[in-house]
Structure 1
Amino acid sequence: MIRRAIKVTLNSKLIIYTLLLLLSTGLFIGVPSYRIAKHSLEEKGHTILMNGVHSAIHLMAEKNRAVQAGTLTLEEAQESVKVTLMGPKNTDGTREITSNFNFGENGYYIIYTIDGREVLHPTLEGLYVYNEVDKNPKTNSPFYLVRDKIEKAQSGGGFTTYTWTYPYSDKLGEKIAYSEIFEEWGWVVSAGTYISDFNQEATPILQLTLFLIGFSVLAGILLSGHYIASFAKPIMSLERAMKAAEYGDLNKVKTIKRKDEIGRLLTGFNHMIEAMRASKIQVENFAYYDSVTGLPNRNKLIMETEYMKESANQKTYLLLIDIKDFGILNSLHGIGYGDKILGELGRVLKTLSYACYRVSGNTFAIWLKSEHTAQIQEQFSEIIEGIEDRMNNAVFANKIEFFVSGTTSMFLNETVEGYIKRASLAMQYAKANSIINEVVFYSDEMERILQHETELKEAFSQDMYTDSVFMAYQPIVDSTTGLPVGVEALARWTSSTFGNISPGIFIPLATKHNLMIEFSQVILVKIFNDFDAIKKKFGASVYCSINISPIMFLHREFLVYFKDQLALHNVMPEDIVLEITEDVFITDLKQVRRIMDQLKRMGVRIALDDFGSGYSSMNYLKNLEFDLIKIDKMFIDEMHTDDKAHFMFKTIVSIAHAYGARIVAEGVEEKEQAELVRASGCHLIQGYYYHKPEAL
């Protein structure tokens, strides 16, 4: 073998050299080409999934507006969305994928509820999948893929990568899904497919490259060194461009007049670079800028925070701004109105000489630099005053107010996510304490307080099913006879860990943490179980007044559940008064009227609670028929010391009587108050003057 190698001619050596040169050059070109094309296709796939989710959410928002307008029921709107996103439902509960949305050969939409039940799926619709885990056999600990999707959706959207079997096969493949939440329905919308569905189109590029290598090797054997030199140069320039492209430097190569494989390769590469440039710009805009406001988004904030850490030469503060009652404004005036507010705020913030971002939803961020924390409040007061002036000069139905949070200054040892987390904790504290238009700086005590709230929530979620949560009843007295005509059911909580907790704490806690539906159901059962004892203690003719939260009252299954519980506990509808506040009217007045009409046909009476505390009470009194009106305690507290309050009370009584409703005065605690209430024409009184709430 050695002797034969020595006898190889120069021509053979040149051919071998040419062969090796072409092979090595081809590999240098082909492998990076395939990798870049594959990566580009995967990035394009990411964009397709994100755009698909955004399209789905836009469709849901459109259908939700139709629901709010009364042209569709919620069920019709939701089924219409499912049919559009996937296809009609078969008799066996499955759905064929017939929609026009294309996420690759095996891609489709999945929709979950926030507790992990599948709302939309080709075969698993209606199943509880919250604990579904990744099928990768190499993982040491389970990866809960559905939880990950829900958590990322609730955090503003994100990608989940996991291992799953291909359809009708035992073969495992890597899947990717993008998820966001549609808050109005509590749906987590996810679009996913196998990564191979996107990057398999890169295979022809590899095949073409291999073909060109083989062709070039054959041509190189036949061509002279001069010809070899004629194409070595452009290949070397192409190689340099490919290397640069790997690091994101997308430069074209100089084209040549030749029309052979080398010329076409250069032209094809330049076309690929043009496509990658356009795709990169589009992806960067989508990844780093918000479409509604045009401001940089959270991703850009994180990236630029890293740069700021490296170059900071003075204390740097991150302020978060959150529009007060933005959800209510959206509910009252529509999502389009909310987007108009966000867009206008974005335009205002872009005129500031500070770095501004839209972090998520209606939360914005501003960087301020100063050596003294006292100056931050001064700077921000000027900023917020200017923003409010410009915002409120625009055509909006309501004055715009802001929650503001702040953090301590950032140093090099602080992580970006940790920094943003502290600002978010300060924002939560500002909201919890209704601190408006004032900088709230982060402190460790805030985290302790919020942690305490979390512990309180966990305790309440367990205790509400036990005797730790019980009912107390406060009589409503007819002052002309001194006898009770009804009782109001009031929830009480005595925790083994935290002691007696005020309803002013645990009721908002239940609402904030989405426990109100469960809590309301538990309370109804406790009250109905007490009904015989109520009648025995307070009189056979008394009614029971029950406070119903807006979220429970408007829940699609409320009427069915309420009827079932009445029948189960043998409680007469005529013995029930449901108390609602004007918060229930924010969503859909027609829906509220429909529910009230059905309850009244059953024999249930409806009371408007806390009348006079809101700016819309008179309007609801005019448009809806209430059996009772409970006048807010604030009028009672001041009527014996403030003539205006007394006059207002008498006026409200007259108005309510004009609309045919009986009046209940709440919070009467003194004899003088009781006498003034009776003198004003109101004879139903509830308060400590007559009775305190007491357990049975």
Structure 2
Amino acid sequence: MPKFFNKLSTQFVFSFALTASTLVIFVLGLVAFLILDRTQKLQNELTASFSETYLNDSEAILKSNLRYINLRLFNPIYEFDISLLNDELYQLKGWLKPKSILITDLTGTIITDGTEANRNYGKSIVIPEPLKDKQSYLTHNDQGQRVIFAKIGIEHKPVGYIRIVFSQEKDQILVARLQDDVNSSITKFHQALIIVGAIGLFVILIVSVLLGVKARKSFSKPIAEMTKAAKEFAAGNLNYQIPAKVQARNEVDQLSASLKQMANDISIAKNQIQQQAHFDHLTGLPNRFLSMDRLKQSIDEAKRKDEIIAVMFFDLDDFKKVNDTLGHDVGDKLLIEVANRLIQVTRLGDTVGRLGGDEFIILLADLPSMIEAQLIAEKLLEQFRSPLPIENRELLLTTSIGVALYPNDGEDPQTILQNADTAMYRAKELGRNTYSFFTKELNEKVTRRLNIEEQLHNALKKHELEIYYQPIVSLKNDKITGAEALLRWNSSEFGQVSPEEFIPIAEQLGVINEIGHFVLSHSFSQAKYWQENYLSEFTLSVNLSPLQFRSMELVNNIQGLLQKHQLKNSTINLEITEGTLITGYSHVEEALQELCDMKLNIYMDDFGTGYSSLSYLRNYPFTALKIDKSFISDITDDPSDLGLVRATIAMAHSFQMKVVAEGIETQQQLEMLKAMKCDYGQGYYFSCPVPRKEFEKLIRDQTT
């Protein structure tokens, strides 16, 4: 019996131990399953939450800066200044780090891609349909890249579009790094579970129970706490602290540490993004976004206290020359020094911000009167009369300052800033190195421009455009040999509008090609009539806008019109200014060469008013020079102008070119030009520009 009981006891103990071991394994397996399930959910929550939070923050910040991009690029696109556009895109690329960036006109034709080669110039892209009713449009392309399209313009009057493509490689790298950290920690945790399970096969029930209790304390509670922490982090509460009781060792402790580190990294990244979104990366000053926000706060405060606010739009004169001659590195250092000087002059509570490029904004709140703003403007001018020391150089730059006041010049941030900008350009017109306050007259000038833009769209359809002709006279025999075709606009809304006013607007609106074709077609037809009925060698001069050379069809259109009207090519003079050549684009040179090969005459118009580089005369096939009337008007009184005109005529003749003097108004001017052997002349002395019928009478009177 004792042996039986001993045997039974042994069997019982064995069975009990086996049962206990099985129970322990079951319990451990169940615990392991629950823990694995929780860790998998934790992994998914961490990856999805951090990824979504980061990308949403990134896109929100990107959209918030579209106002800056719009205001910053408006003037360069408006003036079609490709060099300045490239400078601004250089700044944007350094700030936004895009994959690519393009500027187009209203038709989707690419103006520039921000590179010096600008190989995409003239190509077209599709403007998304939703952009017609929105200021900006965010989408993703087939490669998973974010693409932003945005209008550039004032309210509903765009002047062009910008397309920015962002690579999501950085986003994917961050998310992948987060996922790798979580996977690494969970893999180590799984390995720990396998070790614990193997040990559980060889322990008794009591040890198994103790291990179960220990496992619960060491794993389940910490993971529950970390799961709660993950939800807090995902909700944006990056300051949430994991309880100190989560102190398990080894893998769980590492997972807890990794989670804390990831939260800290994301918090740092978020702060960096917010810093970049609100402060200029070069000078450390508030950027456009933050400056406008502070202006809005100042306006709200001024409304409550009935105070005056001044907004100064500060711009460096000819800053582009610094970048072009000394390089962008020197230009950046110069901007930093400018920012420091602005801070020194302004008061402690004022805001100095950088709008972009060489443009700064100064917000002066709580002003007792307008006189205080005037005193600060004078201090700013005085501050920049001393040279700026940059890299062993002393650079002396002048400034132009525009001032707008709240509430006199606007009651919202956008209007006040726009009016300060307008006043700044007024300061430049006054000769630069000065300041100007926004006035009612300037506001009316801007309003008139907007109204002219609206009317100009329909001017051709309403038959309001007409071609006038000014005689060109041979100074050898005082006979009319041809005419210059000059466009006139008799608007039903404004009456006679000067070409100096509406031609630049037509160029900006993108209708200059249509208007240019109208001038070519009608003047060619009229020239053919006069050749057949009055002067067989009658010559016609037509002005070509620099923007007309953007069209690849210019040469074909001119060739087609010549064939249509059966004109001799040698009787057509195409007048261009230095602005056409200054871009340096190869297609301009090709077009000029093709026109020259067609035996058309190429005239350089307004010679002497621009850079007047002699390399243009050497490298381009000019037939004649036209001396600007500003030189002709003073040749009888100013010896320097007389000397310049004499030298220009001699130089042109040495290049085998003819000379046309514009703006002849007196007999004395005419006699002096004849003595200098000038070839042709035009001006009010002979006739002002007149309609077709009146010009025809001048020809008849000469031939009868």
| Fold conserved between structures, TM > 0.5 | yes
Between the aligned partners of 1:462 and 1:325, the Cα distance in structure 2 is 37
Summarize deviations over 1:575-618 as a string: whole Å, max 9, x none: 11111222223221876554433322210111121222234344
Q: 1:283 to 1:223 in 2, by over 3 A?
A: same
Between the aligned partners of 2:337 and 2:149, the Cα distance in structure 1 is 28
Residue 319 (structure 1) shift:
1.4
What residue is the counterpart of 1:685 in the other structure?
Answer: 681
Q: Is 1:38 matched up with 2:52?
A: yes
CA contact (8 A) 2:377 2:401 kept: no
Summarize deviations over 1:293-346 as a string: whole Å, max 9, x none: 55432122234445656777864422122345667x59x938x94675355223
What residue is the counterpart of 1:426 in the other structure?
Answer: 420
Q: Is 1:544 matched up with 2:540?
A: yes
Between the aligned partners of 1:243 and 1:41, the Cα distance in structure 2 is 18
What residue is the counterpart of 2:105 in the other structure?
Answer: 114
Q: 1:661 to 1:25 in 2, by over 3 A?
A: closer
Residue 251 (structure 1) shift:
6.0
What residue is the counterpart of 1:508 in the other structure?
Answer: 504
Q: Is 1:282 matched up with 2:272?
A: yes
**Which amino acid is the alignment partner of residue 562 of structure 1?**
I
Between the aligned partners of 1:519 and 1:323, the Cα distance in structure 2 is 36
SS of 1:407 mapped into structure 2:
strand
Structure 1 stretch displaced more, 679-688 or 341-350: 341-350
What residue is the counterpart of 2:529 in the other structure?
Answer: 533
**Which amino acid is the alignment partner of residue 178 of structure 1?**
I
CA contact (8 A) 2:527 2:538 kept: no
Residue 463 (structure 1) shift:
0.6
SS of 1:567 mapped into structure 2:
helix
Between the aligned partners of 2:604 and 2:215, the Cα distance in structure 1 is 96
Summarize deviations over 1:469-521 as a string: whole Å, max 9, x none: 12111111113322112211111111111111111211222234443333323
Q: 1:694 to 1:49 in 2, by over 3 A?
A: closer
SS of 2:665 mapped into structure 1:
coil
**Which amino acid is the alignment partner of residue 569 of structure 1?**
H
Q: How does 1:434-583 map to 2 (within 5 A)?
A: 434-435=429-430, 436-443=432-439, 446-536=442-532, 539-553=535-549, 555-583=551-579
What residue is the counterpart of 1:382 in the other structure?
Answer: 379
Q: Is 1:259 matched up with 2:249?
A: yes
Bigger Rg, structure 1 or 2: 2
Q: Is 1:320 matched up with 2:321?
A: no
CA contact (8 A) 2:45 2:230 kept: no
CA contact (8 A) 2:64 2:289 kept: no
SS of 1:464 mapped into structure 2:
coil
Q: 1:227 to 1:463 in 2, by over 3 A?
A: same
SS of 1:406 mapped into structure 2:
strand
Matching residue within 162, 184, 189 for 1:188 = 162
Between the aligned partners of 2:452 and 2:673, the Cα distance in structure 1 is 39
Between the aligned partners of 1:161 and 1:620, the Cα distance in structure 2 is 45
CA contact (8 A) 1:470 1:492 kept: yes
Residue 29 (structure 1) shift:
12
Summarize deviations over 1:644-688 as a string: whole Å, max 9, x none: 433332232222222222111111112222122212222411111
Q: 1:511 to 1:299 in 2, by over 3 A?
A: same
CA contact (8 A) 2:426 2:436 kept: no
CA contact (8 A) 2:355 2:361 kept: yes
Q: Tell me how large the CA RMSD over aligned residues is.
A: 5.3
CA contact (8 A) 1:323 1:363 kept: yes
Between the aligned partners of 2:209 and 2:300, the Cα distance in structure 1 is 52
**What 5-or-longer segments of structure 1 have no aligned partner?**
1-22, 55-66, 69-101, 133-143, 153-159, 168-173
The two structures have a TM-score, normalised by structure 1, of 0.68
SS of 1:439 mapped into structure 2:
strand
CA contact (8 A) 1:609 1:632 kept: yes
**What 5-or-longer segments of structure 2 have no aligned partner?**
1-36, 70-81, 84-96, 114-121, 154-158, 194-207, 693-704
SS of 1:669 mapped into structure 2:
coil
Between the aligned partners of 1:624 and 1:397, the Cα distance in structure 2 is 38
What residue is the counterpart of 2:131 in the other structure?
Answer: 145
What residue is the counterpart of 2:88 in the other structure?
Answer: none
What residue is the counterpart of 1:171 in the other structure?
Answer: none
Matching residue within 122, 130, 148 for 1:178 = 148
Q: 1:483 to 1:537 in 2, by over 3 A?
A: farther
Residue 348 (structure 1) shift:
2.0
Identity %: 21
CA contact (8 A) 1:580 1:609 kept: yes
**Which amino acid is the alignment partner of residue 341 of structure 1?**
G
CA contact (8 A) 1:404 1:430 kept: yes
Summarize deviations over 1:224-260 as a string: whole Å, max 9, x none: 6996699869966985796588556546647654137
Q: Is 1:299 matched up with 2:293?
A: no
**Which amino acid is the alignment partner of residue 484 of structure 2?**
E
CA contact (8 A) 2:150 2:163 kept: yes
SS of 1:375 mapped into structure 2:
helix
**Which amino acid is the alignment partner of residue 297 of structure 1?**
N
Between the aligned partners of 1:237 and 1:31, the Cα distance in structure 2 is 11
Q: 1:679 to 1:397 in 2, by over 3 A?
A: farther
Between the aligned partners of 2:40 and 2:618, the Cα distance in structure 1 is 82
**Which amino acid is the alignment partner of residue 408 of structure 1?**
L
Residue 522 (structure 1) shift:
3.0
Q: 1:628 to 1:307 in 2, by over 3 A?
A: same
Summarize deviations over 1:145-200 as a string: whole Å, max 9, x none: 3664xx55xxxxxxx346x9x98xxxxxx9963347999x97733337999x9799
**Which amino acid is the alignment partner of residue 405 of structure 1?**
G
SS of 1:689 mapped into structure 2:
coil
Between the aligned partners of 2:473 and 2:611, the Cα distance in structure 1 is 28
Between the aligned partners of 1:281 and 1:323, the Cα distance in structure 2 is 32
Residue 397 (structure 1) shift:
13
**Which amino acid is the alignment partner of residue 359 of structure 1?**
L
Between the aligned partners of 1:464 and 1:570, the Cα distance in structure 2 is 25
Between the aligned partners of 1:432 and 1:407, the Cα distance in structure 2 is 12
SS of 1:630 mapped into structure 2:
strand
The two structures have a TM-score, normalised by structure 2, of 0.67
Q: 1:442 to 1:689 in 2, by over 3 A?
A: closer
Summarize deviations over 1:15-71 as a string: whole Å, max 9, x none: xxxxxxxx99999999799545521243357789999xx9xxxxxxxxxxxx99xxx
Matching residue within 616, 641, 656 for 2:652 = 656
Between the aligned partners of 2:561 and 2:274, the Cα distance in structure 1 is 55
CA contact (8 A) 1:405 1:427 kept: yes
Summarize deviations over 1:125-159 as a string: whole Å, max 9, x none: 99885462xxxxxxxxxxx23664xx55xxxxxxx
